[in-house]
Structure 1
């Protein structure tokens, strides 16, 4: 097994890197339910039920991935499906959510938004409504135990029929204000017709939910424009390839759409060859809010704190720049206003403290 602890690798740091990143308050806005699982939990649950894991999830973890072609995405999805299969009981679900909350709290998260596609679990847990009830309760319980705020995003799968997305949008709307804070759209961005998902997002929009689809990662800036035109997002999952078009950057900035950027995920999936290439500064310089996220720590081997650490190490982000990214994540979250205001004050205190303390 490779020597990975689930955090960013040990690398050289910038001169002011002594302020501990785990103490920097931040919000985690891009975290997938299955992908949030601890690697040790995956192995333990698989052994419990006699599920044989592929070597890329055991002795070769985290797996070598690239999704720049159809075969690569199929392999990524197969690993994801294997991970989903180990969740067999309600206690398994509660454990996953609690461990995700504890891991985020340890990384300084004060608010975490976790997204799930209930249709991937409905058959095993009594239907999509029963499963959503379970996850909402697990999120509430986990947030209380970990001492952080949490919200749930119901996400449709773009490889399924758009009518399925409408069903999930209506489900999310039923729980608006009762644990569900948003509606998303995930899976392989190159599949499905984005315009066909517009009616589902209209349902979620009428319910007052945050609209947070994926876009602009595996496809370029033209798809970002398509998402803006038809899905009306408040935030866009990833969106990094907007950096390839000044016009799209300007439109994102003008419309106030934030981006959920996941550096280690971008490199692991082959969107960029190195961490130095992830265009976080290009995006923020254009006036776009960026919230760093871990995406799927189970498959990428790095959690929330690792995203800040790699920008500090690979792109020499200063503590002031990292603090501003943390502020952006908090401001663009759907956390209660008192939590937001308190966390922003604590970011200022973190930055005001002398480096080295």
Structure 2
């Protein structure tokens, strides 16, 4: 069994964690109260995040949007970025994170929100050493025109820390193909591309690859229901960023009741799987818990969990030099862990 302590010690590279979904409960309640945003039922710190009460993904996203609407100042963004990267990052041995940022719910201009996020990233790096970058996510439930405007704004206010764009919110309400022009604009500007595919048909995976030219797929569990697409993705080593706990609770993993069998099928098929925590406090999880949950459900040992981290290093959007640094660091950690366990076994 993977203990909490062991799971927390394993190095992690985070490619699927949403900024608005990793606001601690106390911070969410405080910011909403200060900025005049009311959560349904006026919940307190202990009840604002109740994943059992989410009727569906849309119900969860309504709360997610209210958290975004509570961000009225640059400092608000600095604070939530710092807390996300420390409490739900460095505290769980996350070395590097590409943060999903959905700017649409906030009343702040994108440029101001971006400045606050950069502030929080710098402060977290100074205090803990965690490195991070940004993936700006499009709300697919809004119009393609709005998506194009957001990409144009990202390009206009381009900073090195923004590595790419994503496609977020409910796939059934925003199929991917219409967003091809926004992704083409991003590609032309040299931005990387990824997209969520949590509950659409397997054919959407090929739309993301062939029409949106995505380098990664977020979730994507249904890929294993189509053998041809599975083989293609395995051959091309398309990365899939899986989030075991939230996907199971949200009902779109195809696994149910904590079995995580779809993730096992993906691993067994030779797909490049990465593990992350998605919206940790909102679903009562954290990066260590997701590693522990999938490890214990599927009987994976530490070596397999470290493979998920190695996959994330290969799949991240850092340059070759920075990836080499992470690879060397992980190899050093693995050698040290093996030596430590060998010493323990000999005593």
- TM-score, normalization: structure 1? 0.85
Distance 2:220 2:242 in 1: 7
Distance 1:274 1:198 in 2: 35
Corresponding residue to 1:264 among 245, 248, 251:
245
Describe the SS at the equivalent of 2:135. Answer: strand
Q: 1:84 to 1:315 in 2, by over 3 A?
A: same
Distance 1:297 1:62 in 2: 12
1:82 aligns to 2:66 (yes or no) = yes
Corresponding residue to 1:116 among 94, 98, 101:
101
Q: 1:199 to 1:65 in 2, by over 3 A?
A: farther
Structure 2: gaps (5+ residues) = none
Tell whether the 8 Å contact from 2:18 to 2:101 is kept in structure 1 after alignment: yes
Q: 1:229 matched to which residue of 2?
A: 210
Q: 1:337 to 1:352 in 2, by over 3 A?
A: farther
Distance 2:339 2:151 in 1: 44
Count of residues in Structure 1 that have an aligned counterpart in Structure 2: 335
Q: 1:9 matched to which residue of 2?
A: none
Residue correspondence of structure 1 range 202-221 to structure 2 within 5 A: 202-215=184-197, 217-221=198-202
Q: 2:164 matched to which residue of 1?
A: 182
Q: 1:157 to 1:29 in 2, by over 3 A?
A: same
Residue correspondence of structure 1 range 280-319 to structure 2 within 5 A: 280-319=263-302
Distance 2:250 2:100 in 1: 20
Q: 1:156 to 1:49 in 2, by over 3 A?
A: closer
1:53 aligns to 2:39 (yes or no) = yes
Which shows bigger deviation, 151-160 or 309-318? 309-318
Q: 1:353 matched to which residue of 2?
A: 339
Residues 177-229 of structure 1: per-residue CA shift (max 9 Å, x gap): 521001111001101242110011111112222211111x1123122222222
Tell whether the 8 Å contact from 2:26 to 2:45 is kept in structure 1 after alignment: no
Distance 1:154 1:137 in 2: 16
Bigger RCO of structures 1 and 2 (CA < 8 A, at least 6 apart): 1
- TM-score, normalization: structure 2? 0.88
Residues 99-131 of structure 1: per-residue CA shift (max 9 Å, x gap): 11112011111111111122322xx32x22333
Which shows bigger deviation, 292-301 or 178-187? 292-301
Which shows bigger deviation, 41-50 or 181-190? 41-50
Tell whether the 8 Å contact from 1:19 to 1:319 is kept in structure 2 after alignment: no
Q: 2:16 matched to which residue of 1?
A: 30
Q: 1:107 matched to which residue of 2?
A: 92
Corresponding residue to 2:232 among 244, 251, 255:
251
Distance 2:19 2:299 in 1: 31
Tell whether the 8 Å contact from 1:25 to 1:346 is kept in structure 2 after alignment: no
Residues 54-94 of structure 1: per-residue CA shift (max 9 Å, x gap): 45775444321556xxxx23321221122223323222211
Q: 1:5 matched to which residue of 2?
A: none
Distance 1:173 1:259 in 2: 26
Tell whether the 8 Å contact from 2:4 to 2:289 is kept in structure 1 after alignment: no
Describe the SS at the equivalent of 2:167. Answer: strand
Distance 2:50 2:126 in 1: 30
Distance 1:57 1:114 in 2: 27
Tell whether the 8 Å contact from 1:220 to 1:244 is kept in structure 2 after alignment: no
Q: 1:4 matched to which residue of 2?
A: none
